[in-house]
Amino acid sequence: MDEFTIGLVYTGGLLVLVFGGVRVFAAAAIIGLFGTVHIIGWDAGAGIVGTVPHSKSINYVLSVLPMFILIGFIAYHAGLTHALFNAARAWFGWVPGGLAVASVFATAGFAAVSGASTATAAVFSRVAIPHMLDHGYDRRLAAGVVAAGGTLASLIPPSAILVIYAIIVEESVGALILAGFLPGVVSALIYAALIIGQCMWKPELGRPIASPPMMERIKTLPGTLPIFAVVIIIFSAMYTGWATPTEAGALGAFVVLCIALARGMKWGPLQEALIETAKLTVMIFALIWGILIFVRFLGFAGLPQAFAEWLISLPLPPVVVMIMILLGYAVLGMFMDAIGMLLLTLPVVYPAVIALGYDPIWFGIIVVKMCEVCLITPPVGLNCYVVAAVRPDIPLGDVFRGIGPFFAADAATIGLFLAFPGIITWLPNLVNS
């Protein structure tokens, strides 16, 4: 067999392993090792594969991942999320579906200090859902809002998935983090508009609650200041060039830690935050190692170049090809987790997208938005499983039914980004100009 055929066969083997239940990082590493050995021999192949984990782990950019993840876990265990939801409830509870709208904005605020979507969904399953159910909200809406709102952590910086994208395609982490901010805000606003529209059409889904006096609302704002302080520090440090993304992440983690200690955080919650950060970081690093071994094999097989040439040769406008690619992501998202899907597809898809003339920063935000969709897509909608696990009184089927309308919102958001790419590229272009 020639290299291209070997690449196709082993890629098919990877899909069989993944869909058969083998962990993505293990399947990718195994296929990458044997595929590389098949093409260039044992000595050279094993030697190259053996150097990948170390050579990629010492990449300075990777150190931003644990920093961003640590910010979110410390903020949660310090109780900052309750203050965020209480403020959102006070300011937005009066609109139709107000508590659900408040949940969206609270998850968006927490996403600005957390790089983990599942963590955001777990936190607000405990914080927001009880309030919505106590006020008679439809449990499907309550569960769907939290599952969908949690996905905002994939897009709103700091985002672990954006960092992974930057590492795989060798793009600027800082530019991607800046580019994700405005699309994340737009996504949250579209979610809120959807909820208001639903509850105006069917008031029984979620009725407004009494709005507290203005002074009471103002009193809720100081509790949110730690969250906004961290966001301002991270963005201003990168925007002015005063700090790299890694340094900004470390500074943000330090500030959150200081705030948590000042609020009386004990050793137990801090230890739990550190352990959860380590677990999630190790999982992500294992994925990166396995996928990069597979990527090295793809390079020897020539699959990315062949796929790019095939896409370019199609007698279709670039926008139609892009829609086809996004539909492919939507289908894959039904069976794979977001990070694994991103790592598996980018080595092949990215060269084709660039050859079609699309901006790599713009595509990064688009593909991460598709990863958000995958987090709530059955049967492997990870955020939906998290909500159902935290709230066993809400069946998984109800959670999946609750996120149904949010697919329409996500489709509208992606269409908006396709029609107006400046929404994504404006902020990073402003910084670079």
pLDDT digits (tens, 9 = 90+) for 305-345: 777 677 777 788 888 888 888 888 887 777 666 776 777 78
Q: Which of 46-55, 143-152, 375-384 ranks highest by mean pLDDT?
A: 143-152
Residues 383 and 122: their CA atoms lie apart, in Å, by 8
Q: Which of 23-32, 102-111, 189-198, 352-361 ranks highest by mean pLDDT?
A: 189-198
Is it the case that residue 101 has pLDDT exceeding 90?
Answer: yes
pLDDT in the model for residue 361: 93
Q: What predicted TM-score, i.e. pTM, was given to this entire model?
A: 0.80
Mean pLDDT of 91-117: 86
- If you average pLDDT over every residue of the chain, what do you get? 83
Percent of the chain with pLDDT over 70: 95
Other Cβ atoms less than 10 A from the Cβ of 393: the count is 9
Is it the case that residue 392 has pLDDT exceeding 70?
Answer: yes
For residue range 196-247, list pLDDT tens digits in order. Answer: 999 999 999 988 888 888 888 888 888 787 777 887 887 777 767 777 777 8
CB 317 within 8 A of CB 22: no
Mean pLDDT of 45-60: 75
330 residue type, one letter: A
DSSP-H helix ranges across 302-421: 303-313, 318-332, 338-355, 360-374, 382-390, 396-402, 404-419
Give the phi and the psi of residue 336 in degrees, each rounded to 5: -130, 155
Distance in angstroms between the alpha carbons of the first and the last residue of the chain: 50
pLDDT in the model for residue 424: 93
Mean pLDDT of 151-176: 81
pLDDT in the model for residue 95: 92
Tell me which residue of 4, 184, 209 sits closest to 96, measured CA to CA: 209
pLDDT-derived band at 379, boundaries 50, 70, 90: low
pLDDT in the model for residue 148: 92
pLDDT in the model for residue 57: 67
CB 382 within 8 A of CB 366: no
pLDDT-derived band at 28, boundaries 50, 70, 90: confident
pLDDT-derived band at 414, boundaries 50, 70, 90: very high
**Among all chains, which residue has been given the structure tokens 């984990």?**
53
Is it the case that residue 61 has pLDDT exceeding 70?
Answer: no
HEC readout, the chain = CCHHHHHHHHHHHHHHHHHCCCCHHHHHHHHHHHHHHHHHCHHHHHHHHHHHHHHHHCCHHHHHHHHHHHHHHHHHHCCHHHHHHHHHHHHHCCCCCHHHHHHHHHHHHHHCCCCCHHHHHHHHHHHCHHHHHHCCCCHHHHHHHHHHHHHHHHCCCCCHHHHHHHHHHCCCHHHHHHHHHHHHHHHHHHHHHHHHHHHHHCHHHCCCCCCCCHHHHHHCCHHHHHHHHHHHHHHHHHHCCCCCHHHHHHHHHHHHHHHHHHCCCCHHHHHHHHHHHHHHHHHHHHHHHHHHHHHHHHHHHCHHHHHHHHHHHCCCCHHHHHHHHHHHHHHHCCCCCHHHHHHHHHHHHHHHHHHCCCCHHHHHHHHHHHHHHHCCCCCCCHHHHHHHHHCCCCCHHHHHHHCHHHHHHHHHHHHHHHHCCHHHHHHHHHHHC
Helices (H) and strands (E) in the chain, counts: 23, 0
pLDDT in the model for residue 264: 82
Is it the case that residue 114 has pLDDT exceeding 80?
Answer: no
pLDDT in the model for residue 433: 63
